[in-house]
Every structure is written in C-alpha cells, then in structure tokens.
Structure 1
Amino acid sequence: MTDFKSYKVPYELDPEYSKSVAYFSMEFAIHQPLKIYSGGLGFLSGSHLRSAYELKQNLIGIGILWKYGYYDQGRNQDQTLKAEWYEKTYSFLEDTGIKFQVPVHNQPVWVKAWYLPPTTFNSAPLFLLSTDVPENDYLSQTITHRLYDADTAAKIAQTMILGIGGAMLIDHLNFNPEVYHLNEAHALSGAFYLLKKFGSKEELKKRLVFTTHTPEEAGNEKHDYYLLNKMSFFYGHSIEEVQQLTGMTGSVFNHSLAALRFARDANGVSKLHGEVSRRMWGSYPDIPEIQSITNAQNWKYWADKPLYHFMEEGDNVGFDDRKMFLKKRAFELVADQTGKIFDPSILTIVWARRFAAYKRPDLIAQDLARFQELMENSEHPLQIIWAGKPYPMDYGAISVFNSLIHLSKRFDNVAVCVDYELSLSKRLKQASDVWLNNPRVPREASGTSGMSASMNGSVNFSTDDGWICEFAKHGENSFVVPQADYHTLSVQDQDTQDLDHLYEILKNEILPTYYDNKRKWRDIVQTGMHDVRHEFDSNRMADEYYKLMYR
C-alpha cells in the first residue's frame, strides 16, 4: 500500500528532472480503460505524463475522476449520434484514504482522492478527485459526474474542485512542489488558495506557470465577478482584492488573463500559437513573455514499432505488408460499426478528431457534385472515414456529424464511426493513408492528432496551421494546403479557396502518387515517420518544460 502521508514520486528520479512539479489538467487520456478525457487537451496531458514517467521526472498529475466520463457516443435508430452517460468504475485506482472539504457556494463539499500508480499504465503518478461520496448531498455529488458540464455553475464548481481541491490535496500529501503548472486556466481557483498559503502575489508568482492551449473565444473563459464570488471561487478574497491583484476592473473576470498575471512563465503550444498568443495578449500589461513549447505525442505509446523496424531495416516488402495488415485489421472495426468492408489496397482518407466548427469536419464534402465525382472515380478509387466527438451540447457540430452519417448512406466507400477514444484513434491512424486536417488558419493552436498518425505510417494532408508549420515539407513528408488570405477574405471565401486547393492537391498530387508511383509514396510516408520521431515525441516536450518553464 502506498504511503500518502509524505508523498514522494515512487521511482528513482533523473537528477536533471529533480525539481518537484504538480501538473493540473481537467482531463488526462492515459489509456483506454480510464475514460476521463474529451479530446486534444487530454491526449496531450496523457502523453505528458507518459513521458514524465519515461524520463523519470519528479512530476505528479492532478485531475478529476469523472464518474460518467465525457460521454459515451452511441447511435439513434437511424444511426445518428446519441450521447449517453454510463457510470464508470475502476478497480485499478487506489483509495488514498484522503478526504477533505472544499468550500463551494459557502458550503463545505467533501472531496475524496484516488490514485493511479505509475506502474499501472506507465505514467507519472496521477491523483484524481471526486465529490461522489455519501457525505455530500446529491447536488454536490454531481460536481464530478460529467466532464465539462453544460451548466455554468456546475462547470465553475468543477474548476474549483480541480484548483482549490488540487492545491489542498497537495498539502495533504505533503508533496510541496516547487512548481504548480496549470495546463489551461481550469485550475485557476487554486491560485487563490495558494495566495493565502504563500502570503503574497510575489511569492505565488515564483511558483506558478501557465500553458494556454487555444486562441478560441470559448476556450478562454470569462465569468461574472459576482457569480464567482458567490460560489467561493476566490477562496475568501473580496472582489475588490481580486480586482487589485489581477488588474481587472468591471464586472467580468477573464480566467486566462488572470492566469497570465499570476504566472511567472507562460507558453503557447506551437511556434505559430506562441505568435498568435503574443498578439492576442500583447496589449495587456503585467503578463510574462509567452514562449512556445510545441505539443507532442508519446512515440512509445502511439507508434507502430514493426512499421519502424521494417523502415529502419530497409525492408520495403515487410513495410508495405505491415501497413496493409494494419489497414485490414482496422477495417474490421469499421465493418463492425457500419456494415461496410473497406479494401486495404485503396487509398483511405481519415478525418478524426474533436468535432468543432473551426476544424471544418465536412469541408471536403461541401461541394456535393465534386465530392460525388471524387468518390465515384474508378481509376483512382478512394475511401473516407470520419470519426470524432462533438461536445454533447454543441448542436451545430452534432448536426454536421449527423449530416455526414446521412451522406455515408449514399456511398459504400464512406463511413462514420462512433466512440472516438484512444483505442479507435490508434486504429484509425493505422487505417489511414492520408490524415486529413483542415482547420481555419490560425485557429488550431497545435492539433496533435497528425503526429500519432505519422507514427503509424499515415501522410498528413493539412491546412498550414498549428504544429504542421514546423513539420511539413510539401510533397516530401506531407501535403499542405497553401494559406488563403485569412485577414481580408470572408469565412465563406476562405472555405471556397481552401476547398479548391484541397481538391487540386488530392487529384493532381496525392492520388496519382499513391496509385502510379508506389516508391515515391512510400518515401513520403517514411520521411514523415522519420521527421515526427524525435522532434514531435513528447519526451522532447517534457524535457523542454523542465528547461524553459520549470527552471
């Protein structure tokens, strides 16, 4: 049994990474059985914890044990999306025996801490908080039921359990981290607890670092001061004190801006996103220089090792055979879900990630006549698979998802899969020859799904956004849609221009290369696998956080 009275990371530390860090995140995608994540933020923090374990860093994760996860993505009778919530139980989590109270709405709410040991899934130690205990009334129990609850007050309460609760837990563990790392501003309430603990903003600033993940308005939350105060978000600090501490007057509290003003160091998650963030926040005084540490994915977890082995041995027959096997195996899952048996010899495009409007899931299908011509081309046949989870209350994104389901009924070579989680994500990356990614530039902060796609022998085909700007060499390791004039063109004209370029590249470069020049296609695939291997492995990222942010 683990001793939690004076917690130390339970493995021998690399002296280079001995500084103690507590890493707060609303979601962690550690492994398929632990369903406490929704999308990219979770995939990223999961890879970060895996790399922290591989590098033997002195880092612990603080998250929440979501009783119903994000949601289970099922289907209605007509195959359209159905959001369902099922209770999850995990026998592999340890009960720490730690229970304490967090004030929410001036009422004490009991919080219980669970523990995921490093050896279970090869990740840094992870502590998960839950309010689902019998000591709480039903409303308090529901705080940790659904990740990103749609109710505003519930969502604020969730961030308080993560922030204030997480900071309290660290004291109960007697871990005493030298650095508190907020992965997004969700855990910001913890800063108000730490202000009381350390006595001043100056002392807090010595210890707090902040990662911003999105230029999207919805990702940088703002709430009414009076609502936050009423909910005890400021942990006993008056509105006047908070306004003085954050330099934010008026009635609106901006969580990301407050996090920047409390942090000694901050970063964006790609070089481009660093630039976008500096422009976005540059006019605000009293914030640190926003650096960039490009997101990455854990190679050891994601990559298909036999594929890399054949590439390194120069065994082209073995390499091609392995990729064909990966596609065939993944197509079994597609057939099971959709009743469609795909052909592994046919070029397969996959679009799979979180469904959000700016990511334009249905861009390739927006011109139906062109799409039909593309899908019915017998000389250069094509298969397309879509998957991804819209936010369950994002009815616009759900409508797009359902429109693609209806579209798939018209074509035998189009499929839409549900329950896009870690396992399906890996299989679809292995199923794909082309990983399609077409967000509106510059709205994708990083977009890491293409990294793990490359690690499984897929070629990135993307608009020039996020991490792609640092990775892509068009026609050598990927294919890139040239940037439209995103500053002067209307959104509709941007979409039209990007769509035209997308079709041109697909018809004139990707399809002919795949079918008529197998050797060149293999070279492009392998160059991508080689280029993604170290630069976009999360071990590089976890190392950079220690060198640039935790120093």
Structure 2
Amino acid sequence: MNFRSFQVPYAVSEQYNKRAAYFSMEFAIHQPLKIYSGGLGFLAGSHLRSAYELRQNMIGIGILWKYGYYDQTRNQDQTLQPTWMEKIYSFLEDTGIKFQIIIHDHPVWVKAMYLNPETFKTAPLFLLTTDLPENDYVSQTISHRLYDANVSTKIAQFMLLGIGGAKLIDEIGFNPDVYHLNEAHGVSAAFYLLNKFKSVEKVKEHLVFTTHTPEEAGNEKHDIYLCQKMSYFSGISIDEVRKLTGIQDDLFNHSLAALRFARKANGVSRLHGEVSRKMWSHYDGICEIIHITNAQNWRYWADKQLYKAMEEGNDLAFDDRKNYLKRRAFEIVADQTGKLFDPNVLTIVWARRFAGYKRADFLTQNLERFEKLINNPSKPVQIIWAGKPYPVDYPAISQFNNLVHLSKNYKNVAVLIGYELTLSKRLKQAADVWLNNPRVPREASGTSGMTAAMNGAVNFSTDDGWIPEFVNHGNNGFVVPKADYENLSVHDQDNYDLNKMYEILEQQIVPLYYNNFETWRQIMKNGMRDVRFQFDSNRMAHEYYELMYK
C-alpha cells in the first residue's frame, strides 16, 4: 500500500467527505491493542469504530506505547502492583515512513505504524513511535509509557502527538480540512501549523478541540520556559507565544491555548458544556464552546442476544441470557479471588478509573450500613470493584488496596485487577446495578454507564456527566437527586450523597429486585432502549461532522 498519497481505503459517504484527522493520546480499539488508560481512550475507540461504520473520511493519529499504560498485577498480599511489559503487535503494518522532529533542540526519529480499517473495523489509525535504534535511549523512552510521570518525558509525548502527528499528515499527503484535538495533549500541533500556514486565522480555520476536563486543576499546565527549552513551540519565541496565546504568567496552559487556537470547541455532555463555558468565561479570546455528548459504539459493546430477547418480548430468554452473562463473568471473579458468586443474587459493580473525585470506596464510608446491605440473608447483595489507578497516584492506589483488604472479610465482595476492554465488557454483563458516584459536577461525561445499559445493567448514579440526559428515576435507572452542591462543603456533599445512595439502595433498588422482578426487568429494558440510539457513538460521530467540522 502506498502511504505517500494516502486516501481512506473505503468508499467515503458523501455527507462525511470532509477530511478529518483525529488526534488522541489513547485509543481503546480492542483488547489486544493496549494503548489506553481509561475513559478518554474508550471514547476515542468508539469514535473510530463509528467513523468506519458511517464511512467517514477520517484518520486517527495516536502513539504506539511500547509498554502500554501498565499491566495491573498483584503483590503477595493481593494489593496492587503496576508492571510494565513490552507489547508486540503483529497486526500493525509498517508504513515505511520515518521522519524527524526537534525535541529539546535535538532531532528525534519518528516512525509511523498503521492499523488497517479491516483489522478491527475502525477508521484508519496511524501510531507513532520513537522506540527506534536511530534514537538515543532517552528519545526512545518518549513512546514507552502512556502519561509518563516524568514531566519532560510527558511534554515530549505531547510533542510527539501534536507536532509528530501534524508532520505525519504532511508526510502522507492527507491534507485534512479539520485537525480535531481530542483533549489538549496535542495542542503543539497548532504551533507546527502556524509555521505551515503563516497565520493564526488559517490555523483557526482548521482546528477544533474537545475538552474532557471540568475543573481547571485537571487541565495540563507546564512551565513555559521548560516547554520552550523542549522546542515545544516549533521555533516561535516566548514573547510571540505569549502574544498568540494570551498567556502572561509562567505556566503554559494547554487547554487555554487550544481554546484560543481552535475555531470551535466542545464539552462532552450538556452539563459539561455549561460547566466549561462558565469555567472559561473569565478568559478573553477563546472560541465558542458547544457540547456533543459522548457515546459508545453499540455494535461493539451491546449484548445482541439480550436485545433480541427483548425485541421478541421473550422474558424467559431475556432472564436466561442475563443469568448466563452473570455466570460467565463470575468465573473471572472465582479465578481471581477464589470467591463463588451467585447469578441469582443482586450484583452491584463499581468499575472505572480510580480517581479521588470518583469516590470508589464511597459505600464503605458508612461501614455499619455497608455491612447491613451485604449481610442481609433474605435480600443478599454482591459487590465487585475494579479499575486502574494512575500508577503514581498514591491516594488512589491506597484506596484500591484498602478495598482489597476490606474484601478479605466478606465472601460476597471482590476486587478485580486487569480492568481493560474485555473485563469491562464482562463486568457490565455481570452487573445488575452499575454504580457511579462521582462528586457533582466533576465528571465531564462518564461513559461507562452507557455500555453497562447496553448489557442490561441498571444505572445508579449521582446526577453528573451524561446522567441528567439519560436517567429517568425509577423508569430506566436510579439517580441521587441534586442538592445545592455549590453551597455545600465537600464534607457535607459527601454526607448528603452517601445518605441518599443508601436510602435509594435500601428502600428502592434492593426491595424492587427481590419483590417485584417484573418491574426490575422493565427498568432494565427501558435503559437498554433509551441508550440504544441516543448514546450510540454513530450519533456522536455524525454530530462532530455536523456541528464541529462543517
């Protein structure tokens, strides 16, 4: 295949013929390709799958992480042990394209690998690596670990994605109408494009930006002089960078720069759009911020047999299928923890990235009520936790480890490792209740509940992210009613949420599951129906073309 005048290798649909290049630090395409950490990657993977289904003229640009994010293994006492293993991918094609970018005043060789659309049914994906014999060891490590903890390495990774990605596009002659930055990691592309187009207006014409972070602290900021030293600005002087980005202090704010270079930006849920507009409103010169609610690829995630039984109105087959899905997932629980879970028992699952605001261990903060919940002989409950903390986020790791130690006291509580695409799907199939309890409004979107609903799990969540657009309490899921969070301290907010969660569990969810399964089943089906089109990524991929690219 000739990669020098690259065309998307399938017939492009007329309504999606604008050429788009989609930059993301991570893509969760399929289990064998471990180049993702969490929700951002899951979202990007679904986006590329939908771009393929809709025949969009889009390519993905990412990085081939030699050691992935990390492999989640255990110490002798079952606690978390991050390990880094080299990954080998025989299904990627070498494009034969190599080029240099300047990092730290020093040329670094970059090679592009290619994921063919037919391999996993995605838009074409180019993955960049610096792990080459031509590079010194330090340069090789740029593409070793996703979100490296070393600040200089991380900035170099952002440059590899942004500058390297934009240069690759020139190398393959793709000539996109739109450069789409999924999060601000790749905003160094704007400086590369500025050298290319010679005008900010021209850059703006081509650049759009998706922000996923609803709090300023979560937006990457780095010392502007370090960025300059690393050649981040593609030879543009600091004075000129300040003039272009309006950043006057010594911290280069990647998201702020992206909002000033893009012609349009979007939040990833209706609520997040509002939060973002408010959050950035005191900055001048930023682009319009709309919202396009995140979604997940139905074809990849949904259990088709469950949907078939629902559509045929065959409740026997429906119950039987869900029971089978639970049994199959519980084999993983037994294998990892030696605990035998019962498919006829109400199963609550909390599984996603471990981060402080997501409050993984929330239910255990009232141990008395927790024990009452899981030790009820007439209405038993099983709980599973899983998820990967960032490998140097020590509070999140200790939260994970505390749950491991706690789980040793109960035969119906399990903590699993290896939360990647396959386990994610299995746990959604295992769940009767998909528990999600972030501190409102800190979850931009939180898409795991979408794929849970596609597998017959009932969402139970605080009212954050995509949930206000989906949950109709008691009809297709359950939601903690919003308090006046803005005027509550964190402590009071946590108390309020925890109390409400237990009330809903004790008085509504558990009794309904055991005393009125007909209604419970209807809630499952309503969730499956409501998530089917509104939160399928085909809708989202279509909206990006309509609202952002045109």
Common topology (TM > 0.5): yes
- The reply on whether 1:449 has 2:470 as its aligned counterpart is no
Listed as ranges, the matches of 1:357-396 within 5 Å are 357-396=356-395
- Distance of 2:167 and 2:464 partners within structure 1: 39
C-alpha RMSD over aligned residues: 0.6
Number of the residue aligned with 1:71: 70
Identity over aligned pairs, percent: 71
- Distance of 1:308 and 1:373 partners within structure 2: 35
Deviation at 1:484, TM superposition (A): 2.5
What letter is aligned with 1:231?
Answer: M
- The reply on whether 1:265 has 2:276 as its aligned counterpart is no
Number of the residue aligned with 1:94: 93
Deviation at 1:546, TM superposition (A): 0.1
- The reply on whether 1:311 has 2:310 as its aligned counterpart is yes
SS of the residue 1:61 aligns to: strand
Deviation at 1:483, TM superposition (A): 1.4
Listed as ranges, the matches of 1:174-323 within 5 Å are 174-323=173-322
- The reply on whether 1:409 has 2:408 as its aligned counterpart is yes
SS of the residue 2:522 aligns to: helix
TM-score (norm 1): 0.99
Listed as ranges, the matches of 1:459-470 within 5 Å are 459-470=458-469
Q: Which moved more, 1:286-295 or 1:455-464?
A: 286-295
- Distance of 2:355 and 2:33 partners within structure 1: 24
- Distance of 1:549 and 1:485 partners within structure 2: 33
SS of the residue 2:360 aligns to: coil
TM-score (norm 2): 1.00
- Distance of 1:184 and 1:370 partners within structure 2: 39
Q: Kindly tell me the number of residue pairs found equivalent between the two proteins.
A: 550
Number of the residue aligned with 2:164: 165
Q: Which moved more, 1:245-254 or 1:32-41?
A: 245-254
SS of the residue 1:389 aligns to: coil
Number of the residue aligned with 1:107: 106
Deviations 1:385-444 (A, max 9, x none): 000000000000000000000010000000000010000000000000000000000000
- The reply on whether 1:148 has 2:143 as its aligned counterpart is no
- Distance of 1:51 and 1:250 partners within structure 2: 41
- Distance of 1:114 and 1:494 partners within structure 2: 47
Deviations 1:168-216 (A, max 9, x none): 0000000000000000000011110000101100010000000000113
What letter is aligned with 1:528?
Answer: G
Deviation at 1:280, TM superposition (A): 0.3
What letter is aligned with 1:108?
Answer: P
- The reply on whether 1:33 has 2:8 as its aligned counterpart is no
- Distance of 1:487 and 1:183 partners within structure 2: 29
SS of the residue 1:545 aligns to: helix
- Distance of 1:403 and 1:33 partners within structure 2: 30
Deviation at 1:353, TM superposition (A): 0.2
- Distance of 1:61 and 1:481 partners within structure 2: 37
Deviations 1:300-324 (A, max 9, x none): 0000000000000000000000000
Runs of 4+ aligned structure 1 residues displaced above 2 Å come to 216-219
- Distance of 2:23 and 2:118 partners within structure 1: 20
- Distance of 1:250 and 1:532 partners within structure 2: 44
- Distance of 2:152 and 2:389 partners within structure 1: 22
Number of the residue aligned with 1:439: 438
Deviation at 1:70, TM superposition (A): 0.2
What letter is aligned with 2:358?
Answer: K
Deviations 1:105-151 (A, max 9, x none): 00000000000000000000000000000000001000000000000
Ranges in structure 1 where 5+ consecutive residues have no aligned partner: none
What letter is aligned with 2:393?
Answer: D
Number of the residue aligned with 2:46: 47
SS of the residue 1:215 aligns to: coil
Listed as ranges, the matches of 1:452-491 within 5 Å are 452-491=451-490
Deviation at 1:285, TM superposition (A): 1.1
Deviation at 1:225, TM superposition (A): 1.2
Ranges in structure 2 where 5+ consecutive residues have no aligned partner: none
- Distance of 1:210 and 1:325 partners within structure 2: 42
Deviation at 1:218, TM superposition (A): 4.5
What letter is aligned with 2:9?
Answer: P
- Distance of 2:249 and 2:544 partners within structure 1: 35
Deviations 1:475-515 (A, max 9, x none): 00000011122112111111111011000000110011100
Q: Which moved more, 1:485-494 or 1:355-364?
A: 485-494
Number of the residue aligned with 2:133: 134
- The reply on whether 1:332 has 2:323 as its aligned counterpart is no
- Distance of 2:400 and 2:33 partners within structure 1: 25
Contact 2:216 2:279 in 1 (8 A): no
Q: Which moved more, 1:214-223 or 1:495-504?
A: 214-223
Deviations 1:355-390 (A, max 9, x none): 000000000111111111111101110000000000
Number of the residue aligned with 1:513: 512
